[in-house]
Amino acid sequence: MHTRRTQSLFVLLFIAVFCLYFSVSFGAENTDKTFITITTFVFSMFAGFFITRQGNRYTKIREIISTFDGKLTGCYRASTNVSAEFHQEVTKILTAHYHKVLETRRWDFHFTNKSNTITSIHALLERLIGDNKIESLRGQAIGRIMSNLSDAQVLRKNMVMLWYEEMVPFQWYLMIFFVIILITTISIIPSVGLLIPSLLKASFVVTIVAVMAILRDLDNLYLFETFVGEHSARDVLHIIAGTK
Protein backbone atom coordinates (compact mmCIF):
# COMPACT_ATOMS: atom_id res chain seq x y z
CA MET A 1 0.00 0.00 0.00
CA HIS A 2 2.79 2.38 0.95
CA THR A 3 4.70 1.54 -2.23
CA ARG A 4 1.71 2.13 -4.50
CA ARG A 5 0.98 5.44 -2.82
CA THR A 6 4.58 6.54 -3.22
CA GLN A 7 4.62 5.56 -6.89
CA SER A 8 1.41 7.51 -7.50
CA LEU A 9 2.89 10.59 -5.82
CA PHE A 10 6.00 10.40 -8.00
CA VAL A 11 3.90 10.09 -11.16
CA LEU A 12 1.83 13.13 -10.14
CA LEU A 13 5.00 15.05 -9.30
CA PHE A 14 6.51 14.21 -12.70
CA ILE A 15 3.38 15.41 -14.54
CA ALA A 16 3.20 18.63 -12.51
CA VAL A 17 6.90 19.45 -12.96
CA PHE A 18 6.77 18.64 -16.67
CA CYS A 19 3.80 20.98 -17.20
CA LEU A 20 5.59 23.68 -15.21
CA TYR A 21 8.81 23.48 -17.22
CA PHE A 22 6.94 23.21 -20.52
CA SER A 23 4.87 26.35 -19.92
CA VAL A 24 6.86 28.60 -17.55
CA SER A 25 10.20 30.30 -18.18
CA PHE A 26 12.52 30.80 -15.20
CA GLY A 27 14.52 33.50 -16.92
CA ALA A 28 18.07 32.30 -17.63
CA GLU A 29 19.10 31.74 -21.23
CA ASN A 30 22.72 30.88 -20.56
CA THR A 31 23.56 28.50 -17.75
CA ASP A 32 27.10 27.39 -17.05
CA LYS A 33 27.14 23.61 -17.59
CA THR A 34 30.25 23.28 -15.43
CA PHE A 35 28.31 24.56 -12.43
CA ILE A 36 25.56 21.98 -13.04
CA THR A 37 28.14 19.21 -13.38
CA ILE A 38 29.95 20.13 -10.17
CA THR A 39 26.73 20.47 -8.19
CA THR A 40 25.44 17.14 -9.48
CA PHE A 41 28.74 15.44 -8.62
CA VAL A 42 28.82 16.79 -5.08
CA PHE A 43 25.16 15.86 -4.48
CA SER A 44 25.77 12.36 -5.84
CA MET A 45 28.83 11.93 -3.65
CA PHE A 46 27.06 12.93 -0.43
CA ALA A 47 23.87 11.05 -1.33
CA GLY A 48 25.87 7.91 -2.13
CA PHE A 49 27.78 8.15 1.14
CA PHE A 50 24.70 8.62 3.30
CA ILE A 51 22.63 6.00 1.47
CA THR A 52 25.44 3.44 1.79
CA ARG A 53 25.90 4.23 5.48
CA GLN A 54 22.19 4.06 6.30
CA GLY A 55 21.76 1.00 4.08
CA ASN A 56 24.45 -0.83 6.07
CA ARG A 57 22.77 0.26 9.31
CA TYR A 58 19.40 -0.96 8.03
CA THR A 59 20.87 -4.36 7.11
CA LYS A 60 22.64 -4.76 10.45
CA ILE A 61 19.50 -3.92 12.41
CA ARG A 62 17.43 -6.38 10.38
CA GLU A 63 20.00 -9.11 11.05
CA ILE A 64 20.21 -8.33 14.76
CA ILE A 65 16.43 -8.21 15.16
CA SER A 66 16.01 -11.57 13.42
CA THR A 67 18.74 -13.07 15.62
CA PHE A 68 17.19 -11.56 18.76
CA ASP A 69 13.77 -12.95 17.80
CA GLY A 70 15.38 -16.30 17.11
CA LYS A 71 16.88 -16.34 20.60
CA LEU A 72 13.50 -15.62 22.19
CA THR A 73 11.88 -18.24 19.99
CA GLY A 74 14.52 -20.68 21.22
CA CYS A 75 13.56 -19.79 24.80
CA TYR A 76 9.93 -20.48 23.97
CA ARG A 77 10.64 -23.88 22.44
CA ALA A 78 13.00 -24.89 25.25
CA SER A 79 10.40 -23.89 27.85
CA THR A 80 8.27 -26.87 26.80
CA ASN A 81 10.93 -29.14 28.34
CA VAL A 82 10.91 -27.36 31.70
CA SER A 83 7.31 -27.50 32.92
CA ALA A 84 3.78 -26.75 31.75
CA GLU A 85 3.52 -23.77 34.11
CA PHE A 86 6.85 -22.35 32.98
CA HIS A 87 5.91 -22.78 29.31
CA GLN A 88 2.58 -21.04 29.89
CA GLU A 89 4.22 -18.07 31.62
CA VAL A 90 6.91 -17.70 28.93
CA THR A 91 4.16 -17.77 26.30
CA LYS A 92 2.41 -14.88 28.07
CA ILE A 93 5.62 -12.83 28.36
CA LEU A 94 6.63 -13.26 24.71
CA THR A 95 3.11 -12.71 23.39
CA ALA A 96 2.86 -9.43 25.31
CA HIS A 97 6.30 -8.40 24.03
CA TYR A 98 5.51 -8.90 20.34
CA HIS A 99 1.94 -7.63 20.54
CA LYS A 100 3.33 -4.36 21.90
CA VAL A 101 5.81 -4.16 19.00
CA LEU A 102 3.06 -4.67 16.42
CA GLU A 103 0.52 -2.41 18.16
CA THR A 104 2.93 0.52 18.38
CA ARG A 105 4.50 -0.35 14.98
CA ARG A 106 7.89 0.39 16.53
CA TRP A 107 10.77 -2.06 16.43
CA ASP A 108 12.55 0.00 19.10
CA PHE A 109 9.68 0.17 21.62
CA HIS A 110 11.28 -2.13 24.17
CA PHE A 111 14.47 -0.15 24.56
CA THR A 112 13.07 3.36 24.22
CA ASN A 113 10.44 2.49 26.85
CA LYS A 114 10.71 0.48 30.04
CA SER A 115 10.69 -3.23 29.20
CA ASN A 116 10.96 -6.29 31.42
CA THR A 117 10.78 -9.11 28.87
CA ILE A 118 14.22 -10.58 29.57
CA THR A 119 14.16 -9.87 33.31
CA SER A 120 10.68 -11.41 33.60
CA ILE A 121 11.93 -14.71 32.20
CA HIS A 122 14.91 -14.61 34.59
CA ALA A 123 12.55 -13.92 37.50
CA LEU A 124 10.31 -16.76 36.34
CA LEU A 125 13.26 -19.18 36.34
CA GLU A 126 14.19 -18.10 39.84
CA ARG A 127 10.62 -18.44 41.11
CA LEU A 128 9.78 -21.81 39.57
CA ILE A 129 13.20 -23.47 39.58
CA GLY A 130 15.40 -21.72 42.13
CA ASP A 131 17.76 -24.14 43.86
CA ASN A 132 15.69 -27.21 43.10
CA LYS A 133 17.46 -30.24 41.72
CA ILE A 134 16.36 -30.99 38.18
CA GLU A 135 16.78 -33.91 35.82
CA SER A 136 19.09 -33.83 32.81
CA LEU A 137 16.55 -32.85 30.12
CA ARG A 138 15.12 -29.97 32.11
CA GLY A 139 18.63 -28.87 33.03
CA GLN A 140 19.69 -28.75 29.40
CA ALA A 141 16.55 -26.81 28.47
CA ILE A 142 17.16 -24.27 31.23
CA GLY A 143 20.78 -23.98 30.13
CA ARG A 144 19.66 -23.14 26.57
CA ILE A 145 17.21 -20.58 27.89
CA MET A 146 19.86 -18.90 30.05
CA SER A 147 22.29 -18.83 27.12
CA ASN A 148 19.67 -17.36 24.77
CA LEU A 149 18.69 -14.70 27.30
CA SER A 150 22.33 -13.71 27.72
CA ASP A 151 22.77 -13.45 23.94
CA ALA A 152 19.50 -11.51 23.64
CA GLN A 153 20.76 -8.94 26.13
CA VAL A 154 23.92 -8.39 24.06
CA LEU A 155 21.89 -8.10 20.86
CA ARG A 156 19.62 -5.56 22.54
CA LYS A 157 22.66 -3.40 23.35
CA ASN A 158 23.80 -3.66 19.72
CA MET A 159 20.37 -2.48 18.55
CA VAL A 160 20.56 0.50 20.90
CA MET A 161 23.93 1.52 19.44
CA LEU A 162 22.66 1.22 15.86
CA TRP A 163 19.52 3.17 16.77
CA TYR A 164 21.69 6.23 17.48
CA GLU A 165 23.42 6.08 14.08
CA GLU A 166 20.60 7.89 12.26
CA MET A 167 21.39 11.02 10.26
CA VAL A 168 21.83 14.17 12.33
CA PRO A 169 19.99 17.43 11.41
CA PHE A 170 23.13 19.03 9.95
CA GLN A 171 23.48 16.20 7.43
CA TRP A 172 19.84 16.60 6.39
CA TYR A 173 20.33 20.38 6.03
CA LEU A 174 23.36 19.75 3.83
CA MET A 175 21.44 17.38 1.56
CA ILE A 176 18.46 19.75 1.33
CA PHE A 177 20.82 22.62 0.48
CA PHE A 178 22.25 20.68 -2.46
CA VAL A 179 18.76 19.66 -3.60
CA ILE A 180 17.67 23.30 -3.69
CA ILE A 181 20.77 24.29 -5.67
CA LEU A 182 20.31 21.44 -8.15
CA ILE A 183 16.61 22.01 -8.75
CA THR A 184 17.14 25.76 -9.09
CA THR A 185 19.99 25.24 -11.56
CA ILE A 186 18.01 22.78 -13.64
CA SER A 187 14.93 24.98 -13.60
CA ILE A 188 16.65 27.97 -15.21
CA ILE A 189 17.66 25.94 -18.27
CA PRO A 190 15.33 27.04 -21.13
CA SER A 191 12.59 24.51 -21.93
CA VAL A 192 9.37 26.49 -22.60
CA GLY A 193 7.50 24.86 -25.47
CA LEU A 194 10.19 22.18 -25.83
CA LEU A 195 9.00 18.63 -25.20
CA ILE A 196 12.28 16.72 -24.74
CA PRO A 197 14.06 19.28 -22.52
CA SER A 198 10.94 19.53 -20.33
CA LEU A 199 10.78 15.74 -20.01
CA LEU A 200 14.47 15.53 -19.13
CA LYS A 201 14.24 18.29 -16.54
CA ALA A 202 11.15 16.75 -14.95
CA SER A 203 12.84 13.34 -14.85
CA PHE A 204 15.92 14.84 -13.22
CA VAL A 205 13.89 16.60 -10.53
CA VAL A 206 11.83 13.49 -9.74
CA THR A 207 15.03 11.45 -9.51
CA ILE A 208 16.47 13.89 -6.98
CA VAL A 209 13.30 13.73 -4.90
CA ALA A 210 13.30 9.91 -5.13
CA VAL A 211 16.89 9.78 -3.85
CA MET A 212 15.89 11.90 -0.85
CA ALA A 213 12.84 9.69 -0.24
CA ILE A 214 15.00 6.55 -0.26
CA LEU A 215 17.45 8.19 2.12
CA ARG A 216 14.58 9.15 4.45
CA ASP A 217 13.18 5.60 4.42
CA LEU A 218 16.61 4.14 5.15
CA ASP A 219 17.16 6.61 7.98
CA ASN A 220 13.73 5.78 9.45
CA LEU A 221 14.31 2.04 8.87
CA TYR A 222 11.13 2.04 6.81
CA LEU A 223 11.94 0.56 3.44
CA PHE A 224 10.70 -2.96 2.71
CA GLU A 225 8.35 -3.23 5.70
CA THR A 226 5.96 -0.93 7.52
CA PHE A 227 8.66 -0.93 10.18
CA VAL A 228 11.86 -2.96 10.38
CA GLY A 229 11.33 -6.30 12.12
CA GLU A 230 7.58 -6.43 11.48
CA HIS A 231 7.67 -9.74 9.59
CA SER A 232 9.99 -11.29 12.15
CA ALA A 233 7.69 -10.26 15.03
CA ARG A 234 4.66 -11.72 13.26
CA ASP A 235 6.57 -14.94 12.62
CA VAL A 236 7.29 -15.35 16.36
CA LEU A 237 3.60 -14.89 17.17
CA HIS A 238 2.69 -17.46 14.52
CA ILE A 239 5.12 -19.90 16.15
CA ILE A 240 3.59 -19.26 19.58
CA ALA A 241 0.08 -19.67 18.13
CA GLY A 242 1.17 -22.98 16.59
CA THR A 243 0.47 -21.96 12.99
CA LYS A 244 4.14 -22.35 12.06
- pLDDT value for 157: 85
Evaluate whether residue 232 is within a structural domain. yes
- Domain extent at residue 140: 33-241
Give pLDDT tens digits for 179-230. 998 888 888 888 888 898 899 999 999 999 999 988 988 888 776 656 777 8
Evaluate whether residue 8 is within a structural domain. no
Kindly list the distances between the CA atom of residue 112 and the CA atoms of 96, 115, 177, 222, in Å, as whole numbers in the listed order.
16, 9, 32, 18
- pLDDT value for 39: 81
- pLDDT value for 1: 44
Evaluate whether residue 150 is within a structural domain. yes
Domain count for the chain, please give it: 1
> In whole angstroms, what is the distance from residue 46 CA to residue 158 CA?
26
Cβ(82)–Cβ(138) below 8 Å = yes
Evaluate whether residue 3 is within a structural domain. no
pLDDT per position in the chain (244 positions), as tens? 456 777 788 889 999 999 998 888 776 666 666 777 888 888 889 999 999 998 898 888 888 988 999 999 999 988 888 888 888 999 999 999 998 888 888 887 887 777 788 888 888 888 877 666 565 667 778 888 888 888 888 888 888 888 888 888 999 999 999 899 888 888 888 888 889 889 999 999 999 999 998 898 888 877 665 677 788 888 888 888 877 6
Where b means 16+ CB within 10 Å and e means fewer, 187-202 reads bebebeeeeeebbbbb
Evaluate whether residue 161 is within a structural domain. yes
Evaluate whether residue 235 is within a structural domain. yes
Q: Find all residues with CB under 8 Å of 122, minimum gap 6, and list them.
A: 149
- pLDDT value for 135: 59
Evaluate whether residue 14 is within a structural domain. no
Evaluate whether residue 95 is within a structural domain. yes
